Chain A
């Protein structure tokens, strides 16, 4: 399993990448909220946001095909929504599509210009509960370990298989694979706990101070605020 699907483009050095994670989290969330609060009769504002998003996309240096590829997640919902065309008409569904894709691209930009570790720190500093961030950290760390184990189990099973077993059998095998993976996860967590205790863990995770605000962030944040204020006024 490839390890870099999460932080694949996060190590670039574009103007977006070097910003502090908190400012990015706030700014992109504000932009998404901005898109979502455009009233329907102001279709032209969507173009303004589209333009802004395109600019951000360009600045980020993330390859366009990659962004397009990531945005395919939205496909099933587009399909579902297009079933409603008879009720809503093309304009309504079109607006829906534009909103959704804009928000999605903004999210893609946020998460791909920030290393996951930084993102977590940003969340923590913005007030996300410690336990959630810790769990997120463990999830990130052990995801690869567990998927490797799962793949190995799958390989081992495939080596012992001839043809396709009946559905019931398949399910039984999968249950025991999942069950084994679950138990191994538990045991790993227990050992991890022993290791944490051995290194002085007493219940809470101390945090080090990360990237700090710079003038880049000030410029960026003021730019975004200005933009949003303008779009609100333009209504």
Chain B
């Protein structure tokens, strides 16, 4: 879901602006170095594809409709660097074309919809051993990766809004993650379906970007990207800052006026949130490393 302006505390919004900005700048730098020139039109057109695909709603169960988010799918095909860059373009386009998602909240939306879905989806997919070879493993890996990418993305969204105090964590998680657990099934099935289709018709498309693939050091870099700025801003928030900056960052009225209960929620949950995020990425690194080691062992096995 695209968060509009005004639903996040400035602190959260700004910290996510920094994180997403860093991610984009890094990916852009990598793009110049790693990507062959043909990746550029590919990324652009696939951005249009995701945007168009997101606009094609299909009915599920009576009145509701769902659509493909596509972050996981893109990152499996393009690699998480190019994938997250493309998804970031889509999020930006949605904010500019459709005013879906706010301007200051852009960092948060890019983080949730692009960074989180792409990296977590890719990690899960690789972890479950999905590859262009196809078969049942591909379908299962695709499904789980797609489903999981939405779950974790919507949980981040709920957490961020809970920190604003506007929407209590329980309510947020229940609705957001609950809804996305259902929609995630569709995302998972479509991701798996499209990947399966590709592996049969154009398997070469799933291996187009060998250079941009993610290595262990990239995972470590990813954690640093998220955890470090987040930690810095969390620290800055708690200590004393020069007045005008403090005033700007502490601008959310709800933290000030909210009752004791929710204030407790914000202060402990804030650190908890950053820890959680860092933890998630550490987990993803660990799994990635583990998966690689297992794969290597399998290859060099008897």
Contact = CB atoms under 8 A, between A and B. Distances in A.
Q: Are any A and B Cβ atoms less than 8 Å apart in their complex?
A: yes
B205 A186 contact: yes
Contacts of A119: 96
Given A40-B257, A189-B42, A189-B46, A107 B103 contact: yes
B217 interface: no
Interface stretch (B193-201, B223-231, B232-240, B290-298): B193-201
B52 A150 contact: yes
Give the interface SS of chain A, mostly helix, strand, loop or mixed.
helix
A154 to B, nearest CB: 7
A87 B262 contact: yes
A81 B168 CA distance: 9
Interface in A79-127: 80-81, 83-84, 87-88, 91-93, 95-96, 99-104, 107-108, 110-111, 116, 119
Nearest to A178: B194
Interface in A1-58: 5-6, 28-29, 32-33, 35-41
Contacts of B37: 193, 197, 201-203
A227 B259 CA distance: 33
A104 to B, nearest CB: 6
Nearest to A104: B4
B67 to A, nearest CB: 10
Nearest to A137: B44
Contacts of B47: 135-136, 138-139
A175 B51 contact: no
Contact of B85 (A84, A131, A150, A185): A131
Give the interface SS of chain B, mostly helix, strand, loop or mixed.
helix
Contact of B55 (A145, A147, A174): A147
B190 A36 contact: no
Given A88-B254, A107-B99, A119-B96, A76 B1 contact: yes
Contact of A193 (B38, B88, B189, B261): B38
A87 B167 CA distance: 9
B104 interface: yes
A196 interface: yes
A36 B99 contact: no
Contacts of A32: 5, 102-104
A80 B167 contact: yes
A103 B3 CA distance: 12
A143 B85 contact: no
A37 B247 contact: yes
Contacts of A5: 97
A80 to B, nearest CB: 6
B3 to A, nearest CB: 7
Instruction: Return the 6 tightest CB-CB contacts between A and B, nearest first.
Output: A40-B253, A138-B44, A175-B193, A179-B197, A100-B6, A103-B5
